[in-house]
């Protein structure tokens, strides 16, 4: 049998000459049927008394020399008792099965949703805290992985990423919830081991201690100045920080607020029960400075129903800004405050509480300004909400903040010195 040549093959192609098969030896055949766009290399052999054919590749992708090499290797395997065509089909079937398994895999994101809906929602007092950790940290890092593909290295990288952004306490929380997620998978017979089980708090944020950080008047003045001078720190961000300090509310309560919750004419914010940690509605008195700030936010948010509408498309299509938006922006401000001890947004509430005490505000009123429940017997029997007293307390506090921002002196003499 005459051997094939590249010159001959190219001539057949240029002339459009079609054929079922032209042999080259060792079972190698070139086929150029009418329904083929390009010639196809095939390997023909007999196995268990039956004729078998295996496709090798198209001419152009597989050269004549390469096709001859492959045919020789396949012929040798057939001689050793291998049905090479069947083996190739088996490998293809395995590859398809793996792709289908991957497409149908139960992901960490799905596991987290299942855990939240079955073990947290309706059973935990503050389910949104858990949901925040799932959506903000667990899903972005490992949510798309199949649960059986998660390795300890993935857990380690997730924790390190959280620590790198300066949130060690958050890293501890994420580790706790991640361990619970995979324990849940084990209980449901979805996994045999927990990839987070080898980690403890020393691998995350370390041992937690109660924070005591509160900003001084000088540090607040430095903060206001740094916010004004930090490139890209928007007017909305500045106003949001002011309101968090002035009203001593939790960040989530402010960023998730609808305009309908506010009565600016009356100077009141009606914070509903389902949006605060105590799960009881509270009316928050608004100092003059807060009303002015809110009016500006109303104007900047235009026709949105939300006080702080989303600035760009979010992964979960949130209607308001993401809870990390302000954290990221404030991190840039802190770079312009090198001589100020580290602080975080949650320290604003402690700052307010500290200065309310310095202003002579009675403890029970200051606690209600932070929407803390009055403890003990008094909390059980005393249902008075001290709205007028809180209004005066927040007025004094807002004046003090304004003096820190502008340098203008205000009459903020502590109440106890006025008696």
pLDDT in tens, 90-108: 888 777 766 665 666 789 9
Task: Burial-class residue 287 by CB neighbours within 10 Å (0-12, 13-18, 19+).
Answer: buried
* Mean of the per-residue pLDDT values of the chain: 87
pLDDT in tens, 52-79: 999 999 998 999 999 999 999 999 998 9
CATH number at residue 166: 1.10.150.130
Is residue 210 situated within a structural domain? no
Is residue 211 situated within a structural domain? no
Considering the chain, what percentage of its residues have pLDDT values greater than 70?
89
Is residue 1 situated within a structural domain? no
Q: Which pLDDT value is given to residue 319?
A: 87
What pTM, to 2 d.p., does this model score?
0.58
Q: Which pLDDT value is given to residue 269?
A: 95
Residue 297 CB neighbours (<10 A): 20
pLDDT tops 70 at residue 410: no
pLDDT in tens, 217-265: 999 999 999 999 999 999 999 999 999 999 999 998 999 999 999 999 9
Q: Which domain holds residue 191?
A: 108-203
Question: Which token pair is 204?
Answer: 């995350």
Q: Which pLDDT value is given to residue 413?
A: 61
Rounded CA separation 394/416 (Å): 16
Q: Which pLDDT value is given to residue 315?
A: 43
Nearest residue to 318 (alpha-carbon basis) of 131, 38, 177 = 131
Q: Which pLDDT value is given to residue 306?
A: 93
Question: Which token pair is 146?
Answer: 């199949």
Q: What DSSP line would sit under 341-410, residue for residue?
A: ----TTHHHHHHHHHHHHTT--HHHHHHHTTPPPPHHHHHH-----HHHHHHHHHHHHHHHHHHHH----
Whether residues 120 and 133 fall in one domain: yes
pLDDT in tens, 175-197: 999 999 999 999 999 899 999 99
- Phi and psi at 151, nearest 5°, equal -110, 160
pLDDT in tens, 200-213: 888 776 665 556 78
Whether residues 98 and 118 fall in one domain: no
Whether residues 410 and 302 fall in one domain: yes
CB-CB contact of 300 with 282 (8 Å)? no
Q: Which pLDDT value is given to residue 210?
A: 57
pLDDT band at 353 (very low <50, low <70, confident <90, very high): very high
Rounded CA separation 101/97 (Å): 6
Last residue of a domain, one of 151, 173, 203: 203
Number of domains in the chain: 3
Whether residues 265 and 328 fall in one domain: yes
pLDDT in tens, 113-153: 999 999 888 887 678 778 888 988 999 999 999 999 999 99
Last residue of a domain, one of 63, 84, 103: 103
Last residue of a domain, one of 103, 129, 155: 103
Whether residues 161 and 224 fall in one domain: no
pLDDT in tens, 265-280: 999 999 998 887 777 8
Is residue 117 situated within a structural domain? yes
Q: How many residues does the chain have?
A: 419
Q: What is the CA radius of gyration of the chain?
A: 35
């Amino acid at each position: 049998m005459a051997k094939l040549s590249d010159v001959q093959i190219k001539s057949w192609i240029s002339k459009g000459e079609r054929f079922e098969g032209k042999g080259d030896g060792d079972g190698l055949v070139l086929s150029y049927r009418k329904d083929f766009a390009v010639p196809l290399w095939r390997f023909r052999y007999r196995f268990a008394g039956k004729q078998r054919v295996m496709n090798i590749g198209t001419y152009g992708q597989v050269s004549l020399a390469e096709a001859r090499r492959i045919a020789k290797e396949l012929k040798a395997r057939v001689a050793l008792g291998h049905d090479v065509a069947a083996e190739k089909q088996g490998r293809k079937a395995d590859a398809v099965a793996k792709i289908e398994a991957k497409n149908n895999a139960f992901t960490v994101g799905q596991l987290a949703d299942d855990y939240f809906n079955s073990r947290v929602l309706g059973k935990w007092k503050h389910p949104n805290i858990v949901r925040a950790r799932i959506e903000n940290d667990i899903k972005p890092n490992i949510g798309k992985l199949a649960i059986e593909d998660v390795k300890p290295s993935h857990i380690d990288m997730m924790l390190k990423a959280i620590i790198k952004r300066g949130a060690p306490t958050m890293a501890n929380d994420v580790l706790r919830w991640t361990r619970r997620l995979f324990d849940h998978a084990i209980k449901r017979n979805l996994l045999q081991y927990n990839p987070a089980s080898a980690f403890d708090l020393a691998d995350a944020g370390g041992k937690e201690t109660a924070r005591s950080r509160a900003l001084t008047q000088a540090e607040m003045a430095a903060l206001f100045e740094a916010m004004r001078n930090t490139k890209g720190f928007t007017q909305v961000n500045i106003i949001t920080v002011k309101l968090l300090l002035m009203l001593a509310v939790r960040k989530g309560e402010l960023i998730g607020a609808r305009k309908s919750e506010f009565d600016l004419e009356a100077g009141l914010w009606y914070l509903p029960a389902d949006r605060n940690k105590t799960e009881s509605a509270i009316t928050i008195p608004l100092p003059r400075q807060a009303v002015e700030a809110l009016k500006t936010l109303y104007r900047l948010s235009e026709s949105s129903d939300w006080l702080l509408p989303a600035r760009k498309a979010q992964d979960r299509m949130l209607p308001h800004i993401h809870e990390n938006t302000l954290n990221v922006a404030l991190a840039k401000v802190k770079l312009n405050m090198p001589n100020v001890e580290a602080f975080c947004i949650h320290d604003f509430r402690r700052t307010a509480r500290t200065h309310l005490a310095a202003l002579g505000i009675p403890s029970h009123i200051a606690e209600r300004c932070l929407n803390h429940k009055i403890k003990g017997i008094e909390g059980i029997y005393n249902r008075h909400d001290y709205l007028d007293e809180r209004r005066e307390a927040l007025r004094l506090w807002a004046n003090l903040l304004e003096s820190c921002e502008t340098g203008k002196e205000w009459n903020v003499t502590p109440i106890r010195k006025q008696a």
